[in-house]
Amino acid sequence: MRRRRRLTIAGLVSAAVLAAGCTLPALAPRSDVESEAAPPGTTPTWQACPEVADEVVGRGAPGIRYECTRIQVPRDWAGGSAATTGPGAGETFEIALIRARSDKQRDRIGSLLVNPGGPGGSGVDTAVYLSFGEQYGGLPDRIMERFDIVGFDPRGVARSSPVECIPDADLDAVFGSDPDPQNQQSFDDLVALANRIGRGCGDKYGDQLPLYGTEQAARDMDAIRAAVGDDKLTYLGYSYGTLLGATYAQLFPSRVRALVLDGAIDPRQGLIEGSESQAKGFERAFDNFHRWCAANAARCPIAPDARAAVISAIDKARVSPARSADGREATAGWVFYAVISSLYTESGWQELARAIDQLEGGNPQGVFRLADSYADRDDKGHYTNLFDANTAINCADEEERPNLDRIRQLQSQWRTQYPLFGPALATGLISCTEWPGGSDPYPTGRADGAPPILVVGTTGDPATPYEQTPALAEMLGVGRVLTWEGEGHTAYPQTACITQAVDAYLIDLTVPAEGKRCPAR
């Protein structure tokens, strides 16, 4: 059975569940690693690259060596690099890799491949972040001492043959647009913007756009496994990275050693079902924020009614947006994305409360800090290719795309059911409806022959709602659920309970007890 679902949280450009479980720093500008890509099936040459860590976080982690390489993969695995017909025939993509190795490594098990999600998040950046250790939200020393941490930018992302076709001005228009365009002209303007973006990307990439899909990237992961010299794959995937891992397990079950899928996605959900699931998830997370505010008024300047304060701020921004010193307007869209950004971690709640309070006083800087972090926008108004890749990948995966009339119906329906997030989740469906090119669906079935796969879920997760965790485990047939009763997007390594369970699985292949749950603290 094959079903399509796009992992959108809101907005025209299918802003999918975002990088690295959002426990890590915001993504930094990426630079190319100068090396010749190893052809398919050959052993790559690794080169020292401490400059990548310098660019990502300003320095390398103590006692960690960074090495980089590139490998070539067929653009279309169905035909391979020797194919003579079809999109991408005979051509390759370059996949950028980084390896972080501790000076204290002992009894090496192999490589731990990591992916932060998105789609569009950089695994190279994530490997650098994770190398800084548990005190900074990274990996525990016991994992760093047993594995090389290998990050990769999936095809089309960051350093790996990046998709670049959406102008900064159009992304500003996307994020700044009304999250609930109720009059027909506003809705039509949103459709026209999506259509313009789609035409520009179609003109540049044509019939090769479907080649950026998830199944192709999962096959790239097996080329990476072979390139690093591992007989079987050990993998840590967050958010959309769980979809990559689940797809790999179905394609190559006998090559799985251990997969940790944290922030699980149910691949069987259709596009509409997946978007509604996220509408529910964000409403639930926002309700949790609202209750926290009411109970912690000293730390929440918009208490006691945080929901009313946020809704008022968005409504006010529709008619009279606050301006920053450079003239930038904090429109309803930017306020909405500040809210979205803050819900990925419980630590973002207090920042949101301050930002909304400051906005009421005419200062939009807190709103812009949150929203720009989510959008991967720098202070000069430039974006990385995160959302170019995000749209290309999501729409390549998408087989069934609702028409505009159906989207308009859902917008109205979800406004009643999920008043703050539902309309934006509905209008977010427009991007793939207006996207050119065909699709390349990924499989949605069992991973027969694979060993137990650890599927981790957070009960307060807004972007990958907890209900998807047992659904993914059940679909794979070999999934074992580990539950964190916490807030925010993804769980590992948030608490000692979660960390100990995941570490035991990665190192010793010890599977947690059926039904294991970890408390929030």
CA-to-CA separations, 249 to 259, 448, 463, 469, 492, in angstroms, rounded: 8, 9, 23, 16, 20
Q: Name the active-site residue from 122, 239, 341, 439.
A: 239
Task: Report the alpha-carbon distance of residue 8 to residue 265 in Å, rounded.
Answer: 12
Closest to 370 in 3D by CA, of 345, 347, 346, 339? 339
- Token pair 């008022």: residue: 312
Closest to 394 in 3D by CA, of 359, 429, 426? 429
Active site residue 461: yes
286-292 contact pairs (CB < 8 A, 24+): 286/310, 286/339, 286/343, 286/420, 286/421, 286/462, 288/460, 288/487, 289/342, 289/343, 289/349, 289/352, 292/349
Task: Report the alpha-carbon distance of residue 179 to residue 10 in Å, rounded.
Answer: 8
Bridge partners, residue 95, by sequence: 71
Q: Name the active-site residue from 172, 230, 266, 461.
A: 461
CA 44 to centroid of chain Cα atoms: 28
Query: How many CA atoms does the CB half-sphere of 66 hold within 13 Å?
Result: 25
Active site residue 239: yes
Task: Report the alpha-carbon distance of residue 42 to residue 57 in Å, rounded.
Answer: 32
Active site residue 489: yes
Residue 218, both tokens:
């999962």
Catalytic residues: 239, 461, 489
